Structure 1
Amino acid sequence: MSSTSCDRHAQADVQTVKDMTVGFLPLDTRPCTYDLPVQLARQSGAQVLLPPQGLVAPYKQASDTAALARWLEETAPGCDALVVSAEQLLQGGLIPSRQARVSAARQCEALQVLARIRRKAPSARIYLSNVLMRTSISTLDPESLVWWEKVNLYSKLCYRAKTGRCSEAAQQCRALEQEIPAEVLRTFLTARGTNHRVNRECIRLAAEGVVDELLILQEDCAPEGLQRFEQETLLRDIQAGGLSDRVFLFNGTDEAGAELLQRALHPGGCAVEVVWLGRQPDFVAKYEDRPFRENLAEHMRALCMRQEQGARRVLFVLTPKQEQREASLPRSKAPHDYSEAELRAICRTIGQAAAQGRSCYLLDLDFANGGNPFLLECLAKELPIAQLWGYAAWNTASNALGTLLAQILAGDQGNGALNRAFTAERVLDDAVYQAIVRQAVAARVKAEGQDVYNIRDIPQTQRWLQQEFEAVRPLLEAIFGGEVPAFEAKLRWPRLFEAAVFTRAGGGPVYTENF
C-alpha cells in the first residue's frame, strides 16, 4: 500500500487507541464475526459500540434493517470510526443475503444512510465491507447440501462455457438446469445479480468519499466460477476510480469485522516478517480462487502491514504438504501428511524465533475448516502455548489469515492476559473443536436422527459437547503443558459448524442472547 494511503489518517496515531470509540455493525451473531472482533479491539482499551442485543438476528432470521440503520445514524456522531457490514445493514445478515429477498434498488437506496452519516459526522471514518457472493447456495439442511454441490458445479461449468474452455460445458450446464429445482437456481442467480449491483454501488460511495475504505470479500469459491466475471467488472470500477489504495477485493468474508476494527484503531499498520513453514507458498486453498500468497499480500496491504525481514513480529505460515484437505476427515499417515520428524523441525523453527525475543504467530493452513492439534502438541514441547502470541486455523485460509493479522495489530499492548486468553480460545476452537470434537458430537447427533444443521435437542447436544471435550483432556493437557485454561463451549446457533468457546480469563462471550 502506498505511504499516502497508510498515512491518510495519521491524526489517529496521535489519538491513543484507549481514547477511541468505534461503532460496529457485525456481519451476524456467530462468534467469529461478532465476538472475536470486539475481543481484539478491547485488548487495546478501545470502546466498541454494538447494536442492542437482540437487534442483530441469529442464523436464518433477518434482522430489522430499518432499526439497524436508525441505530447506526444515531450512534455515528459519538464515534471516531464506524465499521459496517453491508450484508447486515441492507439484508439483515449473511445467510439472508443469499435469499434474494431485497431488491438491488432497495438496497442501494438503504446504503444512502452512509451518505447522511458522512454529512452529520464528517470526522468519523467509515469502513465498509461487502461480500462477493459465493459460487453456490447456503447449506442449511441435508437437502440443500445436495443442491450446494450441484450449483457449485453449475457455476464452474458456466464459467468454462463462457470462456470456451470446454466444448461440452454448455450442454452440461443445460442438463444441470433441468436437474436443479428451478426455484433454487432462480434464487441463486437473482441473488448474484443483486449482490453485484450493490458491490458496484459500494465502490461508487468510496469514489465519492462517503466511505473511507471498502473491503469486497470473495466468499467460498474455486478458481473457475461465475464470480470471475463479476470480479473483472469490479476491478475495472476500482481502477477507473483510482481507488486501488482504498478499495480491496480478495478471498475471505467472516474475518472482515476483525480486520476493519483493527484498521480503524491502528491506521499505520506494522511491520511483519513472513516465514513459510512448508514448500507451497503458491498453493491455492480450498474454497478460494487464487494462490494464497496473493491473498496474504492483499490482506496485508489493506491493513497497511509491511513484510520486513527481521521484524519483531513473525507470522509463521504452515502450508499443506500437498493438497489442502478437510480437518474433519479421518487422518492418515499418507504422503500428504507431515511426518512427526517434519513437525518437530517446524516447531523448532518457531521455538528458535521465540527464544530470540520475537513475537511469534502461527497460521495453520495444513487443513481447511480446522487446525492440526498434533502440530500444537508437538509445538508445546518447544514453546509453551502461553508464549505463542497468536494462532488461527478456522474455516477458510483467508478467514484464519484475517483474524490472525487482526490479532497481530492488536498485539501492540504485548502478550498480556487477554491476548493469551484469545490465543488459548483459538487453540481450543480452531484446532481441537473443529478437528476432533465437532466430528464426535456430529456422530452422536446423527445417531439420534437429528439434522446437524438444525439441531432440535439443544440441552442434550450441549452435554455431548462437554463430554467430547472432556474425552480429549489428555490431548489438551499435552498442548497446554498441564495448565488447561478453564473454558466453556456452547452452541451459538442450532448447528455444529461453529461453537462458542471462551475462557474465563478472556472475559466470556460478547454476545449473550440465546438463540
Structure 2
Amino acid sequence: MRKIAVLPLDERPCNYQFNRLLVGGMPYEVLSPNLDILGDKKQKGNLEAIQAWLLEVAPQVEGMVIAVDTLVYGGIVPSRLHMDVTQTLIERLMVLKHIKQLYPTIKLFAYNLIMRNPKYSSAEEEPDYYEYCGREIHLYGVYEHKLSLNQLTTDEAKHFETIKKTIDQASLDDYLMRRKKNIEVNLAFLELIKDATIDFGIVPQDDSSPYGLTAIDQKIMRKAIRDLNIELTCYMYPGADEVTNTLLARLVNHYEHKKPKFYIHYASITGGMQIPLYEDRLLNETVKYQILATGGIIVSSIQEADLLLLINVPSGHMKEANHQDEAALEYDAFRNLIEYVELADYGIQLGKKVIIADVAYANGGDLALLKLLKQKGLLMRISAYAGWNTSSNTLGTCIPQG
C-alpha cells in the first residue's frame, strides 16, 4: 500500500474528501491533516501546525500533493486577506525545499494559484471592502490591462477616469499590495520547480478572464515559466478546487507507469470553441491541459483510446445552470444530446471507460442530459460524471475519476 500525503486547498469536501474517494479500492492511502488545523473559509489554518504535519508525515510517504496556498497563507480565501510580509510568506514555502533535502526520493507535486479578481462586488470570500467596490477594482484592472495593450475604447477611458477619481484609494492600495506579494510567492514557487524541489507544478487561475489584474499576473508568470525553461514541468490554466484530484491522478499514473489515452467528443460541432464562464480561454485548450496534467494523452480514434471523454457543451455562450429552463438555440438546436448519449452507450459496449464532463452550464449539471442518461440506463454504467461550479472544476473532477 503506497502512502501519499495530501495538503488540500481548504476544508471543503471538494478539496478535502474528493481526492480520498478517487483512490478508494486502489492500493493507495491518502494521508491528510486533521480538519481542525485547516481553518474555515476566511479563518486561516494553523500555519505552524500545517508545517509540522508536513514534516511529520514526510518520512511515511512516497509522494506529496501540496496546495501551496494552504502552506503559505492558510487556505485559498486567506490568500486574499492576509497582511503578512513577503519574506514570511516565502519562508513558509521553503519547507518544501527542506523536505526534499531530507527525503530526496519523495515525489512532490504542487500547485499555487494566481489570486483571483472577481468582477462582482461581494465580500463573502474577499476583503470586506470588496462588498462596495469590488466591481470597480475589477474594472480598474481590466482598463489598466487594455490601456497597456492600446485596446481601451473612448467610453472605457472615460469610465476609467471616473473610477480613478471615485474609488476608495486605501482599499485599492491594499488590494494591489496583496497581489504584489502573492505574485512574489508565485515566482518563488516557479524557482522550486526549476531546481527540482517540486517535480511537477500547476499554476491555476481561479475565476479568470481575458482582461484584468489576474490576466496581467498571468503574463508575468508565463514569461517566468519560459525564462526558467520549465514549460514541460509547470502548466498554467484555469482552475482551483479540482487541482488536488488532477495531481493525485498524475502521481498514481506515475507509480503505475501508465499514460491513459483519451478520445474526446463534444455534444456540438462547435465544441471546444467556447470560452466558459469564469475562464479566460477556449475550452478545448483547457481540456488538453487537464488531460496532460493527469499524465494522459489525447488520441484520434475510439479504437486506440482507453477512455472516452464526452464533453457536454452548448454551441455558443454558456449560461448559469439556474437559467437552463429558458429556451436557447445554443442548447436546443445547435447541439445533439441524442447522438452524445448514443455514443456513450456505444463506448461502453466496446468496453471503454466513458467519462461525462457536463460543462454545458456553470454551477450545475444539465438536467436534459441526465434525463437521457437515465432513459438509456447509463447512469450507473459510465465510469465518471461531474457537473459543478466552473468548467475546469468539472473537468478536473471527472477526468481523474475516470
CA RMSD of aligned residues (A): 2.1
**Could you tell me which residue of structure 2 aligns to residue 118 of structure 1?**
100
Give the AA of the match of 1:188.
Y
Correspondence for 1:349 among 343, 349, 361: 343
Report the counterpart of residue 270 of structure 1 in structure 2: 260
Instruction: Name the amino acid aligned to 2:265.
Output: V
Once the two structures are overlaid, the 10-residue window that deviates more, 162-171 or 358-367, is 162-171
| Map of 2:173 onto structure 1 | 186
Distance 1:184 1:37 in 2: 37
User: Which residue of structure 2 lines up, in the alignment, with residue 290 of structure 1?
Assistant: 281
Amino acid at match of 2:135: E
Name the count of aligned residue pairs.
Answer: 390
Q: Give the residue type in structure 2 aligned to 1:131.
A: L
Letter in 2 for 1:324: M
Given that 1:279 and 1:319 are in contact with CA atoms closer than 8 Å, whether structure 2 keeps it comes out as no
Match of 1:376 in 2: 370
The corresponding residue for 1:214 is: 201
SS of 1:328's equivalent in the other structure is: helix
Task: Confirm or deny: 8 A CA contact 1:84 1:127 kept in the other structure.
Answer: yes
> CA contact under 8 A between 2:277 and 2:318: conserved in structure 1?
yes
- Which of the residues 205, 216, 219 maps onto 1:229? 216
Alpha-carbon distance in 2 for matches of 1:179, 1:325: 32
1:254 aligns with 2:241: yes
* CA offsets 1:454-485 (integer angstroms, 9 cap, x no match): xxxxxxxxxxxxxxxxxxxxxxxxxxxxxxxx
Query: What's the CA shift string for 1:127-171, capped at 9, x where partnerless?
Result: 111001112388444984553333332222221112110143444
**Residues of 1 paired with 2:340 and 2:333: CA distance?**
11
Confirm or deny that 1:53 pairs with 2:43.
no
Residue type at the aligned position of 1:44: M
* 1:179 Cα deviation from its structure 2 partner: 3.8
Q: Which has the higher contact order (CA 8 A, sep 6+)?
A: 1
- Kindly tell me: are residues 285 and 341 of structure 1, through their superposed partners in 2, closer, same or farther at Cα, counting changes over 3 Å? closer
Query: Does residue 135 of structure 2 align to residue 149 of structure 1?
Result: yes
Give the superposition deviation at 1:214: 0.9
CA shift in 2, pair 1:404/1:179, >3 Å: farther
1:20 corresponds in structure 2 to 2
Aligned amino acid, residue 58 of structure 1? D
Change beyond 3 A, Cα 1:178–1:66: farther
Q: Matched residues in 2 for 1:257 and 1:93: separation?
A: 13
Q: Map residues 327-366 of structure 1 onto 2, 5 A cutoff.
A: 327-329=321-323, 331-338=325-332, 342-366=336-360
What one-letter code is carried by the residue in structure 1 that aligns with 2:330? H
Q: Match for 1:284: what amino acid? A: I
Relative distance call for 1:220 and 1:341 in structure 2 (3 A) is closer
Mapped pair 1:245 → 2:239 = no
CA shift at 1:23, angstroms? Answer: 0.9
For residue 304 of structure 1, the aligned residue among 295, 311, 316 is: 295
CA distance in 2, matches of 1:241, 1:373: 46
CA contact (8 A) 2:321 2:362 kept: yes
3-state DSSP of counterpart to 1:48: strand
Post-superposition offset of 1:227: 2.5
Would the aligned equivalents of 2:11 and 2:35 in 1 still touch at CA under 8 Å? no
Farther off after superposition, 227-236 or 256-265: 227-236
The amino acid that maps onto 1:51 is P
- Could you tell me which amino acid in structure 2 is paired with residue 210 of structure 1? T
Q: CA deviation at 1:321?
A: 2.5
Mapped contact 2:267–2:336 kept (Cα < 8 A): no
Report what 1:446 is aligned to: none
Partner of 1:323: 317
Which residue identity is paired with 2:277? K
Q: Distance in 1 between matches of 2:132 and 2:26?
A: 45
In structure 2, distance between residues paired with 1:198 and 1:132: 10
Paired AA for residue 248 in structure 2: L
**Structure 1: tracts of 5 or more residues without a match:** 1-18, 409-515
The amino acid of 2:214's aligned partner reads: Q
Q: Residue type of the partner of 1:302?
A: A
TM, length-normalised to structure 1: 0.72
Structure 2: 5+ residue stretches without partners: none
- The whole-number CA distance in structure 1 between the counterparts of 2:90 and 2:129 is 33
Change (3 A) 1:252 1:341: closer
Distance, in Å, in 2 between the alignment partners of 1:269 and 1:195 is: 34
Letter in 1 for 2:375: K
* Contact 2:321/2:363 (<8 A) preserved: yes
Letter of the structure 2 residue corresponding to residue 383 of structure 1: G
1:25 maps to a residue whose letter is L
1:230-270 C-alpha deviation (Å, 9 max, x unpaired): 22222222222221111111111111111111111112331
After TM superposition, give the deviation of residue 299 of structure 1 in Å: 2.0
